[in-house]
């Protein structure tokens, strides 16, 4: 018995030691969840753009990637070197500032001064992560931007203060609530019984007054503002169905009672040869025609666990193309062309999901961006599919939807190639068996950047990406007149 | 009683560890045998005896994104599928050389070519062909185009081709080129600049 006790005690000791070693290992090699939920994101409103940064959970403490945080605002060069991580950020037209941290340490340097993080710095797959709590401070010191941060909702207003809206209830013949914004807004609107709710995903709006307002009105009884998950919501309450209309170029939203439903139309009797009906056919419900618009949808390929090509051991295709996509978006905006990104953070999308999202958005042009370390310069692709004389208004076969747009896609590719040529950049134009290009029911091209010289790292240099982005944007602007605007 | 359970548990752990090592050993052994078989088959692909036949290869170059037409002489099997397989192996062999203009993954090989209905070829490649292929639109497109164009140039009745990996359909070659579809030789001809 004593032998048994000693033996079992030894087993227990061994097990305890093993558990302690395993725990220590896990502590030293923390797992950062790569797939944050939609709610776990930080929304940054800056003068240049509004963007989301994934917030990753590390032992209960939220972290964000430094590159993801700063890249949309300027030029970022990150250099992981063993356990050390150096980052240089250059704001547009400004002087570069540097940050330096060490994996597993909470002390580092920020803009030349010592800096202590509230948690250890994390370095994973060549990407550096800092605790979310220091983001406002880092933005101030590195990006030199005045920051207002709403921690509960994870909304960060950098550079410009939030835009404050006012509520004005006017009682004329009927009650109407005027919601006035300093700039045009485009919220998603949902109506329920007694509610009309506005969700602001990209607008840096907050109320000028209290979050919750009550009105002594028989129709509109109040409004409540809330922020959560990087979004803002305004809920207008009423005693009857409400509807919203935009005015003043989108700067004002007017909430009023929804018109009463039309009286039910008497159903026309079944056609009969004996007594033809004289009842008028029910008129279709009036529909407000949507305005055609010219939208370019940019698709930075890969993302999330799909790294794409490994350009260097620490440089993945998915990161290069996201940075390039943001540059192209800026360059298009400079030319007065609206552009959206299919992904604006490090998320994974399947090829079919990309195609579905593109076709649902109904863009005037789709641009897929890729990067590789094979070949030289810029490769501009259109789909390998042969042109087909299909009506673009009809349902198109999923696998060959692009056939109906091949001619327009070729025009765009040719125009981008001409701009590359004008900038004396090496390029190749080809057709390629590339998905989801074939499934896109819109003019579509793919652009793959490769190093222009033997220096592979050059592919991620700011000057090279800038030249490519300018060529793409200029090429698109040059053929804009040929591409039809599309009703959303 | 508890001691017995602990001993059984310990024995089971030892057996599990042993089995894991054995599985690893078997996996390595299979990989070695596959490599050996591939090397032997490569040797079979170019028999030393028989009449020499001119073969046209469309060789890809990453630098200019073009296919270059190259003529070689090779001794080919008589049977059509074997003959097509030998031609494609000769093409891959060029890509596996150290100074190639279009590198592909080490160990890449053609397992089989199946000819269906006279005009359709199913090219079954091994895992290394796709798993180790450089990722990139241009790199993958050139590989596909050179295979389709080369096969069509030497077996002109083949107008349609599909590429499998280890007998299975795969979504893309290495993240870009679509492998779910059949390629028409008439389409792929426009995919690359053809340099003489």
User: Residue A101 pLDDT more than 90?
Assistant: yes
Residues of B in contact with A434 (CB under 8 A): 137, 141, 176-178
CB contact under 8 A, B136 and A375: yes
Round the average pLDDT of chain A to a whole number and report it. Answer: 81
- Split at pLDDT 50, 70, 90, the class of B170 is very high
Which pLDDT score is estimated for A177? 92
Average pLDDT over residues B164-190: 89
Q: How far apart are CA A173 and CA A343, in angstroms?
A: 47
* pLDDT tens-digit readout, B137-163: 999 999 999 999 999 999 999 999 999
* Element holding A340 (H helix, E strand): strand A338-341
Q: What is the ipTM for the molecules in this complex?
A: 0.72
Average pLDDT over residues A64-84: 85
Say yes or no: A449 contacts chain B, CB-CB below 8 A: no
Cα B115 to Cα A136, A417, B85, B124, B158: the distances in Å are: 64, 39, 11, 11, 8
Helix pair angle (B80-95, B2-45), 10° resolution: 100
More confident: A257 or B179: B179
Contact A306 B175 (CB under 8 A): yes
Q: Which run of H or E residues covers position A138? A: helix A135-142
Where are any strands of DSSP class E within chain B? 52-61, 66-75, 110-116, 120-125, 160-165, 183-184, 193-195
Confidence of residue A471 (pLDDT cuts 50, 70, 90): very high
Residue A317 and residue B172: Cβ atoms within 8 Å? no
The average pLDDT across A340-344 equals 88
Q: Measured between alpha carbons, how far is B67 from A99 in angstroms, rounded to an integer? A: 47
Q: Is A379 on the interface with B (CB under 8 A)?
A: yes
A43-47, A119-123, A384-388, B46-50: least confidently modelled range: B46-50
Most confident option among A430-439, B37-46, B154-163? B154-163
Q: Do B191 and A385 touch (CB under 8 A)?
A: no
Residues of A in contact with B187 (CB under 8 A): 384-386
Can you give the C-alpha Rg of chain B in angstroms? Answer: 21
A374 touches chain B (CB under 8 A): yes
pLDDT at A170 over 60: yes
- A39-43 long-range CB contacts below 8 Å, 24 or more apart? A39/A228, A39/A229, A39/A230, A40/A229, A41/A154, A41/A229, A41/A230, A41/A345, A42/A69, A42/A132, A42/A135, A42/A154, A42/A155, A42/A156, A42/A230, A43/A154, A43/A155, A43/A156, A43/A201, A43/A230, A43/A231
Residues 6+ apart with CB under 8 A from A357: A342, A349
Q: A430 in contact with B at a CB cutoff of 8 Å?
A: yes
A7 interface with B at CB cutoff 8 Å: yes
Bridge partners of A207, per DSSP, are A165
Instruction: State the nearest Cα–Cα gap between B40 and chain A, in angstroms.
Output: 31
Residue B155: the pLDDT is 94
DSSP state of B160: E
Residue B80 or residue A80, greater confidence: B80
Closest Cα in chain B, distance from residue A5 (Å): 9
Which of B136, B177, B192 shows the shortest C-beta gap to A309?
Answer: B136
Mean pLDDT of A184-192: 75
A177, A167 in Cβ contact below 8 A? yes
Inter-chain contacts counted by CB atoms under 8 A, chains A and B: 97
Q: Which residues pair with A341 in a beta bridge?
A: A298
Q: Is the pLDDT of residue A141 over 50?
A: yes
The region, left, alpha or beta by phi > 0 then psi within -120 to 50, assigned to residue A403 is alpha
Amino acid A413: pLDDT: 95
Q: What is the pLDDT of residues A235-245, one digit of tens each?
A: 999 888 888 87
* Amino acid B38: pLDDT: 57
Give the DSSP H/E element, type plus range, for residue A86: strand A84-90
Is-contact A341 A326, C-beta < 8 A? yes
Inform me whether the pLDDT recorded for A389 exceeds 80: no
pLDDT digits (tens, 9 = 90+) for A205-237: 999 989 999 998 888 999 999 998 888 999 999
What pLDDT shows up at residue A285? 45
The pLDDT score that the predictor gives to residue A292 is 67
Please report residues of A whose CB lies closer than 8 A to that of B193. Answer: 430
Residue A398 near chain B (CB below 8 Å): no
Give me the percent of chain A exceeding a pLDDT of 90.
27
Q: Which of B102, B191, B195 is nearest to B148 (CA)?
A: B191
Q: A109 vs chain B: nearest CA distance in angstroms?
A: 37
Please work out, in degrees rounded to the nearest 5, the angle formed at the alpha carbon of residue B30 by the alpha carbons of B26 and B34. 170
Higher pLDDT, A12 or A87: A87
- Closest approach of B155 to chain A, Cα-based (Å): 22
Q: Given B63, B178, B191, which is nearest A431 (Cβ)? A: B191
Q: What is the pLDDT of residue A53?
A: 83
Tell me if B135 and A317 make a contact (CB, 8 A cut-off).
yes
What one-character-per-residue DSSP string does A373-407 give? SSSSSEEEEEESSPP----TTS---GGGGGGGGHH
Identify the pLDDT of residue B157. Answer: 94
Cβ distance A309 to B6 less than 8 Å, yes or no, reads no
What pLDDT shows up at residue A364? 92
Q: Which residues of B touch A (CB under 8 A)?
A: 2-3, 6, 62-65, 134-139, 141, 144, 171-172, 174-178, 181, 183, 187-188, 190-193
A381 in contact with B, Cβ within 8 Å: yes
Inter-chain touch B177–A433, beta carbons under 8 Å: yes
Q: How far A367 CA sits from the closest chain B CA (Å)?
A: 14
Instruction: In whole angstroms, give the CA distance from residue A446 to residue A317.
Output: 14
Give the integer Cα–Cα distance in Å for A162 and A157: 6
Chain B interface, mutation test: which of A430, A438, A447, most B Cβ atoms within 10 Å?
Answer: A430
pLDDT above 70 for A310? yes
**Region of poorest pLDDT, from A80-94, A278-292, A335-349, B89-103:** A278-292
Alpha-carbon separation of residue A33 from A43, A59, A125, A292, A305 (angstroms):
19, 10, 13, 41, 11
Task: Give which of A374, A410, A426, A429 to mutate to test B binding, by max B Cβ within 10 Å.
Answer: A374
Q: Is beta strand A338-341 parallel, antiparallel or unpaired with respect to A295-300?
A: parallel
Contacts of A308 in chain B (CB under 8 A): 135, 175
pLDDT of residue B58: 93
> Do the Cβ atoms of A450 and B136 come within 8 Å?
yes
Phi, psi (rounded to 5 degrees) for A40: -90, 75
Contact A385 B134 (CB under 8 A): no
Report whether pLDDT(B81) > 50.
yes
Q: Distance of alpha carbon A351 from its chain centroid, rounded?
A: 17
Preferred mutation among A382, A432, A440, A454 to probe B, highest tally of B CBs within 10 A: A432
As a whole number of angstroms, the distance between CA A450 and CA A430 comes to: 15
- Count CB atoms within 10 A of the CB of residue A71: 20
Q: Which backbone phi and psi does A8 adopt, to 5 degrees?
A: -65, -35
- The total of other beta-carbon atoms located within 10 Å of residue A76's CB is 21
3-state secondary structure of A8: helix
pLDDT digits (tens, 9 = 90+) for A258-307: 766 544 444 433 333 333 344 344 444 444 445 667 899 999 999 888 88
Give the DSSP H or E segment for A44.
Answer: strand A41-45
CB contact under 8 A, B134 and A309: yes
Which range (A46-55, A304-313, A335-344, A442-451) has the least confidence? A46-55
Q: Given an 8 Å threshold on Cβ–Cβ distance, is B141 in contact with A434?
A: yes
pLDDT at A462: 85
pLDDT value for B100: 92
Cα gap A168→A450, rounded to integer Å: 55
Is B191 in contact with A446 (Cβ distance < 8 A)? no
Q: How would DSSP label each residue in B77-116? A: -SSHHHHHHHHHHHHHHHHTSTT-SS---TT--EEEEEEE
Residue A31: pLDDT above 50?
no
Q: Is residue A132 over pLDDT 60?
A: yes
φ/ψ (deg, to 5) at A482: -85, -20
CB A433 to CB B2 under 8 A? no
Across the range A178-202, mean pLDDT stands at 81
Residue B43 Cα, gap to closest chain A Cα (Å): 30
Phi/psi of residue A83, nearest 5 degrees: -90, -5
Query: Which residues of A, range 299-338, sit inside 8 Å of B by Cβ?
Result: 302, 306, 308-310, 317
């Amino acid at each position: 018995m004593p032998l048994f006790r000693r033996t079992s005690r030894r087993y227990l000791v061994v097990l305890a030691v093993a558990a302690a070693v395993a725990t220590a290992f896990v502590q030293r090699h923390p797992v950062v969840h790569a797939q944050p939920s939609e709610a776990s994101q930080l929304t940054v409103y800056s003068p240049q753009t509004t963007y989301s940064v994934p917030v990753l959970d590390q032992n209960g403490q939220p972290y964000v990637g430094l590159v993801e945080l700063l890249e949309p605002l300027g030029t970022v060069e990150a250099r992981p070197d063993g356990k050390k991580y150096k980052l240089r950020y250059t704001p547009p037209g400004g002087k570069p500032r540097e940050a330096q941290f060490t994996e597993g340490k909470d002390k580092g340097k920020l803009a030349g001064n010592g800096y202590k993080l509230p948690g250890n710095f994390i370095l994973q797959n060549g990407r550096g992560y800092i605790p979310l709590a220091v983001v406002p401070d880092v933005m101030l010191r590195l990006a030199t931007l005045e920051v207002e941060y709403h921690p509960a909702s994870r909304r960060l207003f950098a550079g410009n203060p939030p835009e404050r809206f006012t509520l004005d209830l006017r009682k004329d013949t009927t009650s109407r609530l005027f919601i006035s914004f300093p700039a045009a807004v485009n919220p998603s609107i949902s109506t329920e019984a007694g509610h009309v709710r506005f969700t602001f995903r990209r607008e840096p709006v907050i109320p000028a007054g209290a979050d919750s307002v009550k009105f002594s009105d028989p129709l509109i009884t109040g409004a409540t503002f809330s922020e959560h998950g990087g979004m803002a919501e305004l809920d207008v309450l009423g005693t009857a169905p409400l509807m919203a209309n935009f005015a003043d170029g989108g700067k004002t939203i007017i909430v009023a009672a929804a018109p009463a439903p039309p009286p039910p139309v008497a159903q026309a009797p079944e056609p009969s040869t004996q007594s033809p009906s004289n009842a008028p056919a029910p008129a279709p419900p009036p529909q407000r025609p949507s305005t055609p618009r010219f939208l370019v949808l940019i698709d930075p390929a890969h993302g999330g666990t799909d790294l794409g090509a490994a350009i260097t051991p620490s440089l993945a295709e998915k990161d290069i193309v996201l940075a390039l996509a943001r540059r192209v978006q800026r360059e298009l905006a400079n030319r007065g062309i609206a552009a959206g990104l299919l992904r604006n953070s490090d998320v994974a999308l399947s090829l079919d999901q990309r195609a579905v999202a593109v076709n649902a958005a109904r863009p005037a042009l789709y641009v897929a961006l890729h990067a590789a370390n094979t070949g030289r310069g810029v490769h501009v692709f259109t789909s390998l599919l042969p042109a087909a004389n299909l009506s673009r208004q009809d349902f198109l076969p999923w696998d060959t939807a692009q056939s109906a747009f091949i001619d327009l896609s070729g025009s765009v590719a040719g125009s981008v190639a001409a701009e590359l040529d004008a900038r004396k950049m090496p390029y190749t134009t080809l057709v390629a068996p590339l998905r989801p290009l074939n499934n896109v029911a819109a003019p579509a091209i793919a652009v793959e950047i490769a190093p222009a010289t033997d220096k592979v790292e050059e592919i991620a240099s700011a000057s090279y990406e800038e030249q490519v982005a300018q060529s793409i944007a200029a090429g698109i602007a040059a053929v804009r007149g040929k591409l039809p605007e599309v009703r959303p | 009683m508890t001691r017995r359970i602990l001993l059984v548990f310990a024995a089971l752990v030892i057996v599990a560890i042993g089995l894991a090592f054995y599985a690893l050993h078997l996996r390595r052994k299979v990989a070695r045998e596959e490599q050996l078989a591939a090397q032997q088959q490569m040797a079979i692909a170019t028999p030393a005896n028989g009449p020499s036949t001119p073969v046209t290869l469309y060789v890809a170059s990453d630098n200019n994104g073009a296919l270059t037409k190259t003529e070689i002489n090779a001794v080919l099997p008589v049977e059509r599928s074997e003959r097509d397989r030998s031609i494609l192996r000769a093409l891959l062999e060029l890509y596996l050389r150290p100074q190639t203009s279009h590198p592909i993954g080490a160990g890449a090989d053609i397992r089989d070519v199946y000819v269906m209905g006279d005009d359709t070829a199913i090219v079954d490649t091994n895992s290394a062909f796709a798993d180790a292929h450089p990722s990139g639109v241009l790199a993958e497109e050139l590989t596909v185009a050179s295979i389709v164009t080369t096969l069509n140039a030497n077996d002109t009745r083949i107008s349609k081709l599909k590429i499998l990996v280890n007998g299975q359909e795969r979504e893309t070659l290495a993240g870009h080129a679509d492998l779910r579809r059949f390629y028409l030789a008439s389409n792929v001809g426009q995919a690359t600049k053809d340099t003489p």
